[in-house]
Structure 1
Amino acid sequence: MPTYVELAQEEEKEIIRIRRMLHQEPELSGQEFKTQQKIMEELDKLQIPYRKAGNTSLIATIRGRNPGKIVALRADMDALPIQEEADVPFPSKIPGVMHACGHDAHVAMLLGAAKILFDIRDSWDGEIRLFFQEGEETFTGAKKIIEAGGMDGVDACFGLHGSPGCKTGYVNIEAGYRMAGCDTIYITFQGVSGHGSAPYLAKDTIHPACLFVTDLQGIVTKNVDPQKPVVLSVGKFVGGTKANIVSKYTKLDISMRYFDKQVRKTVHEALQRHVKAIADAYEIQAEVIIEKSTPSLFNDEALCKLAETAANKIFGEGKNLKQNRQMASEDMAYYFEKARGVFCNIGYINEEKGCIYPPHHEKFKIDEDYMKLGAAFHVQFAVDFLNQKEQEQSLVNE
């Protein structure tokens, strides 16, 4: 039997065709209706059953020769509100929208893997679920698939993302916390408006809000173990209406990134405490609203070992590069709250082809040679996991 890389090589032209088709008609988070339709057409060609989930997501299912474990493979499919400037012969046709994070390639790779897995379904036991997920950029899509029952009974999850930290042909697979959790914190200070010439007759909110912003980093330095990173960034500060009116309202939007759940709790409590203390000191009111975007992403150690073994078969020995964990976030983490999982980075950088830009850049461009490797990696991990004997599984877990 050919290797999975060889089978993916046979599907490479089709994988590239699908990716370029999707690239030309990108759609924003929660609006991926044409993308969903195109994926359904491809699944229909392959005779792979599926059902809709959320707004535009799909859950497809492939069953092997016998009942067994269930593994979920995921590809995100939303684009970004960026005007494309990449030097490609198949640019976005939608003004102000482009696939600047490689989600078009993720979908194409998973469809390529689906073709291979369906063709070889008599060689493995169990069930493979394919998640074509909306809204990763807004951290909404994974929750919709979970709500639709996509994770019911799932034993393991696998996902990958194109990485600017690796050249084509290399990967990054590491256990533990790999991507940060993300919260958005909305703070409103409310005082009493008045004339700018007599602030003592009013209750200003801009000055207390400024003090809170300068005080904010003290939470990080004085309340949190420096070995457990957290980032607090004030991205929006709005207060007042006119120069000679004392501001009744001042509002702050803060982005918080973290790994450790206890650190998250500590910072949330400190934020509430500091806001109240400053509000009380200036005799004003304050409200704190914490919006959870996505939890931190934690790779299971045993599944990382399995993924490393699978990667060696696809990429070759010595191709797993170490990388720093990222303060960026990923809603793949929601799946990992329901079952063990591993999320891998796969290199797309190729300087000779001009594929040098990071995600979310207007000149973002991938080396399409990496896609056949990604498709094969999906296949290898899924089959290895499903065919893994219980005795071997217990050894890996130990």
Structure 2
Amino acid sequence: MMQALEQHLIDVRRSLHREPELSYEEFKTTDKLRTWLAKAHISVLDLPLPTGLIAQVGQSEGPVVAIRCDIDALPIEEQTGLPFASGIPGKMHACGHDFHTAVMLGAAMLLKAREAGLPGSVKILFQPAEETGHGAESVLASGGLDDVAAIFGLHNSPELPTGTFGTRTGPFTAGVDRFEISVEGIGAHAATPENGVDAIVTAAQIITTLQTIVSRQCGARETVVLSVTRINGGHTWNVLPERVELEGTVRTYNEEIRASMPEKMTRIIEGIAGAAGAKARLHWAPGPPATINDGVWADFSKEIAGQAGYEVHDIPPQMGGEDFALYLQQIPGAFVNIGTGPAYALHHPRFDVDEAALLPAARYFALLAERALVQLKEQA
């Protein structure tokens, strides 16, 4: 049985990998999931979700736990050369969400096989649009998780060898915010800069001065990253442009610091621009907050991982982002990493996972959900 299930999960993962879909476009992916779940006689909740879904296994009486994966892909041209590589130009499962989806489908099938003995029910969440940082919002708004007492999610980790597991209590991933800065100067010939206001020099001063927020306005023990990642200005070699655009991101685990960043940045941006005779404006695009694992459930997830045969690690916090954080603001739970072997980094066009990690991860999440139900039942 397990050999057949493992092959099925490999086939599922490869089917998803061949036909990646971007955030909010996961219609074919959702249809495939409905088909696979129906064949396994697993019910799907009727919810107002255009893409993605929540399946349910278990008893109508008793506690409810949820396990979650994400299903969307990235706008990346695949360069793996795999026989099941993406057939959609410019789209790829470069973050392993195909792996996540296959894992949770396998967990759902294993839970279905022992449904009669479950002391409650498990909701299996196949979430859309994680890459936007806002997909979890639509799931929470649907009401599909209103009765959930504990929730667990995963991400594959190319930094961890296959057979290893990692999580931690407290901050797991950082809050992720994006910003854009527009700098308006006065164009002029490069030979006569005194006739204009140099938007490029102004933007350069803004970039360097923004770094003093981290070094001089945040505590030395705080973890804060402010990165300018895009500069766009000018069209030719001998003209000072009127406009320069900057874009970047801020990452931190501290919600108080996160909330203060727009004001701190605006002071610097407007002050430097004003001193130069230019104008500048900040546009702030908030993303998901920091993922904060509940200590009890993080320890519980590590205990079950050890029982499932994983080599368990207490890993350091990560500066990447994850909208699973939104669930943990409302429902206690834990986010974990499953090792998928040495590989190219997440979001790399040659990224791949070790498929030998599929079945063990499916078995782990089925066991985790079942044991969590038992614990919640005993506490009731």
- TM exceeds 0.5? yes
Residue aligned with 1:84, SS: coil
Q: CA deviation at 1:132?
A: 0.9
Matched, 1:129 2:123: yes
User: Partner of 1:4 in structure 2?
Assistant: none
Matched, 1:345 2:337: yes
- Check the 8 A contact 1:223/1:267 in 2, yes or no: no
AA partner of residue 61 (structure 1):
Q
Matched, 1:284 2:278: yes
Q: CA deviation at 1:255?
A: 1.2
Counterparts of 1:243 and 1:40, CA distance in 2: 56
User: After superposition, what is the alpha-carbon deviation per residue over 1:200-243, rounded to whole angstroms, capped at 9, x for unaligned?
Assistant: 45433222211111111111100111221111111112234555
Counterparts of 2:313 and 2:23, CA distance in 1: 31
2:362 corresponds, among 375, 379, 388, to: 375
Counterparts of 1:9 and 1:326, CA distance in 2: 35
AA partner of residue 32 (structure 1):
E
User: Partner of 2:233 in structure 1?
Assistant: 239
1:359 corresponds, among 346, 360, 363, to: 346
Counterparts of 1:365 and 1:388, CA distance in 2: 36
Deviation larger for 355-364 or 183-192? 355-364
1:148 corresponds, among 142, 145, 149, to: 142
Residue aligned with 1:165, SS: coil
Q: CA deviation at 1:245?
A: 4.8
1:60 corresponds, among 49, 55, 58, to: 55
AA partner of residue 221 (structure 1):
S
Q: CA deviation at 1:262?
A: 1.6
User: Structure 1 residues 194 and 63 mapped into 2: Cα distance closer, same or farther (>3 Å)?
Assistant: same
Correspondences of 1:309-320 after superposition (within 5 Å): 309-316=303-310, 319-320=311-312
Identity, in percent, stands at 35
TM-score by length of 1: 0.88
AA partner of residue 171 (structure 1):
F
- Check the 8 A contact 1:8/1:373 in 2, yes or no: no
Counterparts of 2:80 and 2:242, CA distance in 1: 46
- Check the 8 A contact 1:57/1:141 in 2, yes or no: no
2:180 corresponds, among 177, 186, 209, to: 186
1:294 corresponds, among 278, 288, 296, to: 288
2:30 corresponds, among 36, 41, 45, to: 36
Q: CA deviation at 1:69?
A: 2.0
- Check the 8 A contact 1:53/1:59 in 2, yes or no: no
Ranges in structure 2 where 5+ consecutive residues have no aligned partner: none
User: Structure 1 residues 391 and 17 mapped into 2: Cα distance closer, same or farther (>3 Å)?
Assistant: closer
2:316 corresponds, among 317, 324, 330, to: 324
| Count of residues in correspondence between the two structures | 379
AA partner of residue 361 (structure 1):
H
Correspondences of 1:259-274 after superposition (within 5 Å): 259-274=253-268
Deviation larger for 101-110 or 45-54? 45-54
1:208 corresponds, among 175, 183, 202, to: 202
